Amino acid sequence: MDMTPAATAKDLRLAVHSGTVADDPDVVASYSRDRASSAPVGAAAAVVRAGCVDDVADVIRYAHAHRVPVVPRGAGTGEAGGAAAVDGAIVLALGGMDRIVELDTEDQVAVVEPGVINAELSAAVRSDGLRYAPDPGSHEISTLGGNIATNAGGFRCAKYGPTRDAVLGLEVVTGEGRRLRVGRRALKGVAGYDLTSLFTGSEGTLGVIVGATVRLTPLPAGPEVTTVAFFPSFGAATAAVSATLRRGVVPSVCEIVDEATLASIDEWKGTDYTDAGRALVLLQFDTDAERGQAAVEAALRAAGAGEVLSTSDPAEARMLMDIRRLALPAAERHGQVLVEDVVVPRSKLGAMVAETERIAEHTGVRIFTVGHAADGNLHPTLVYPRGLAQPPAEVEEAAERIFRFALGCGGTLTGEHGIGTVKRRFLREELGTDGLDYHRRVKAVFDPAGIMNPGKVI
Ligand SMILES: Cc1cc2nc3c(=O)[nH]c(=O)nc-3n(C[C@H](O)[C@H](O)[C@H](O)COP(=O)(O)OP(=O)(O)OC[C@H]3O[C@@H](n4cnc5c(N)ncnc54)[C@H](O)[C@@H]3O)c2cc1C
């Protein structure tokens, strides 16, 4: 059988219901990468831009019958190489399936197609006093399908949890081409295995998410209060977070920023944050905000904070949140970046931070670290010279030492970005041989021909 890219594209044009099929090399290349600059990128045969569920089912049935790999793709903002093409694959682009199918403000749920942009769902329900809580830093550009497939986190995870906590039910096309509904529309339910959670975070390796029923959350009743506190060291900042949260304080956002990042922002924007301290804690409160504020500030000061500022003015709050939002571009000013994503139990944050500093010193790699502190999720961001196709050996070594230390603390390789290709070789260290074996068996149930995003995750 002719399996050249041209033949695959020709077959797909006959097989696919209404979506468009492209095999122009420039178009294919533009759909072949995500944001993980170190991820290997294969030569895909074709791109199918799906317009409806039937298109997806047509593609998967064709791919299953002909043993052709399929790489599902949302907006390609992933940091793990999950949406990077593999040789001979059909890249299945879901961005065009972007309808909000239903908004139910009484039950506070939305039914969406996978290509809806995260921020657009919140915008659509704002006038009803609701929002979609999971808010990855990419919320203005990433798709809900991609967010669900990676179980994306975000700033508001501190209070509302990751994407999984907002997903009630899914419609998927499995690797066999079967349409399957999992989960429910009701807010709770325990019938059967939790296949909704299984597909959430499966990084396109079990099937394609073609629809989702998600939970909406009431907007805060009053103004949010944003507090920043400066500390003499990053270790002191992490200890202060633990001490403050132990007092029962429940922030919706709880971020930390290290000195290297603050210095880079100062240099870039002409600010003077490093005069105030060598690390920053940023908290946001969306309920009972002002009532608890004095106690929060007192807790931060008791934990060693120097300057502490609070505001309920939205413009000022945006300015303070920008310190955190500028962290990634501030690191990128110094070269290419490898964004890491480890999580440790919160009590181990201090040890993780100290070890990261030791690793930076030992390997000579410049590391900028920020994190979602309430979850123990750190993003050590390793910088290396521009123009290199792969991170140099010392960056790989630093990253590996960071992973191993996190695992040794009872943590994980990834809190939100996923395994993709970039962390695949370490997964056995976290799951163990039996764990990995069961993962492979689970995949075989939904994707017996192994066509779904092969070479990713497991
Ligand atoms: C500036 C910036 C900030 C970011 N901030 C965060 C953050 O705060 N938190 C966070 O978690 N991530 C963050 N990310 C990473 C990224 O945005 C998330 O992983 C996001 O969820 C990916 O969505 P996407 O639509 O771009 O998916 P893609 O990158 O296209 O795909 C991601 C994975 O999901 C699979 N996939 C996509 N759609 C489907 C589908 N419909 N069915 C099955 N599988 C599918 C792909 O195969 C791939 O494995 C950030 C990225 C950037 C560039």
Q: How do strand 377-384 and strand 366-372 relate by DSSP bridges?
A: antiparallel
- At residue 331, the pLDDT reads 97
- At residue 3, the pLDDT reads 73
- At residue 152, the pLDDT reads 98
Q: Is 290 a residue whose pLDDT tops 70?
A: no
- At residue 7, the pLDDT reads 80
Atom of ligand 1 nearest to the CA of 135: 8
Report how far ligand 1's centroid is from the alpha carbon of 36 (Å). 11
Q: What percent of the chain has pLDDT over 90?
A: 91
Spatial distance between the Cα atoms of 292 and 246, rounded to a whole number of angstroms: 14
Q: Any idea what the Cα angle at residue 205 is, between residues 199 and 209, rounded to 5°?
A: 45
Residues facing 167 on adjacent strands: 214
| Phi, psi for 173 (deg, rounded to 5) | -110, 115
Cβ–Cβ under 8 Å, residues 92 and 50: yes
Nearest to 435 by CA among 443, 452, 414, 153: 443
DSSP H/E element including 335: none
Q: Is 303 a residue whose pLDDT tops 90?
A: yes
Q: Is 1 a residue whose pLDDT tops 70?
A: no
The whole-chain average pLDDT of the chain stands at: 95
- Per-residue model confidence as pLDDT tens digits over 359-382: 999 999 999 999 999 999 999 999
Q: Is 398 a residue whose pLDDT tops 90?
A: yes
Q: Which comes out higher in pLDDT, residue 406 or 248?
A: 406
- Per-residue model confidence as pLDDT tens digits over 184-194: 999 999 999 99
- Per-residue model confidence as pLDDT tens digits over 39-67: 999 999 999 999 999 999 999 999 999 99
Shortest-distance Cα residue to atom 7 of ligand 1: 136
3-state SS, residue 183: strand
Spatial distance between the Cα atoms of 201 and 222, rounded to a whole number of angstroms: 33
CB within 8 Å of 170: residues ≥ 6 apart = 148, 181, 182, 183, 196, 199, 200, 209, 211, 212, 213
Spatial distance between the Cα atoms of 247 and 253, rounded to a whole number of angstroms: 16
Cβ–Cβ under 8 Å, residues 170 and 148: yes
Cβ–Cβ under 8 Å, residues 208 and 453: no
- Per-residue model confidence as pLDDT tens digits over 104-136: 999 999 999 999 999 999 999 999 999 999 999
Report how far ligand 1's centroid is from the alpha carbon of 437 (Å). 26
Cβ–Cβ under 8 Å, residues 36 and 84: yes
Q: Is 447 a residue whose pLDDT tops 90?
A: yes
CB within 8 Å of 453: residues ≥ 6 apart = 69, 70, 71, 72, 82, 86, 203, 204, 205
Nearest to 50 by CA among 16, 26, 23, 89: 16
Q: Which comes out higher in pLDDT, residue 182 or 292?
A: 182
Atom of ligand 1 nearest to the CA of 139: 17
Report residue 291's pLDDT band, with 50, 70 and 90 as the boundaries: low
- At residue 18, the pLDDT reads 86
Please provide the size of the chain in residues.
458
- Would the CA dihedral through 7, 12, 15, 21 be positive or negative? negative
Nearest to 338 by CA among 274, 269, 428, 402: 402
Atom of ligand 1 nearest to the CA of 137: 5
- Per-residue model confidence as pLDDT tens digits over 2-19: 778 888 889 899 989 888
Tell me the mean pLDDT in the region 397-422. 97
Report how far ligand 1's centroid is from the alpha carbon of 418 (Å). 9
Assess whether the C-beta atom of 150 lies below 6 angstroms from ligand 1: yes
Return the best residue to mutate from 32, 49, 77, 199 for the ligand 1 pocket (most ligand atoms within 8 A of CB).
77
- At residue 453, the pLDDT reads 98
Q: How many helices (H) and strands (E) does the chain have?
A: 16, 19
- Per-residue model confidence as pLDDT tens digits over 237-269: 999 999 999 888 889 999 999 999 999 999 999
- Per-residue model confidence as pLDDT tens digits over 312-357: 999 999 999 999 999 999 999 999 999 999 999 999 999 999 999 9
- At residue 2, the pLDDT reads 72
Atom of ligand 1 nearest to the CA of 78: 29
Read off the tokens for 149. Answer: 């497939």
**pTM for this entry:** 0.96
Shortest-distance Cα residue to atom 27 of ligand 1: 146
Spatial distance between the Cα atoms of 168 and 110, rounded to a whole number of angstroms: 10
Largest CA distance in the chain: 73
- At residue 295, the pLDDT reads 86
Q: Is 98 a residue whose pLDDT tops 90?
A: yes
Cβ–Cβ under 8 Å, residues 231 and 302: no
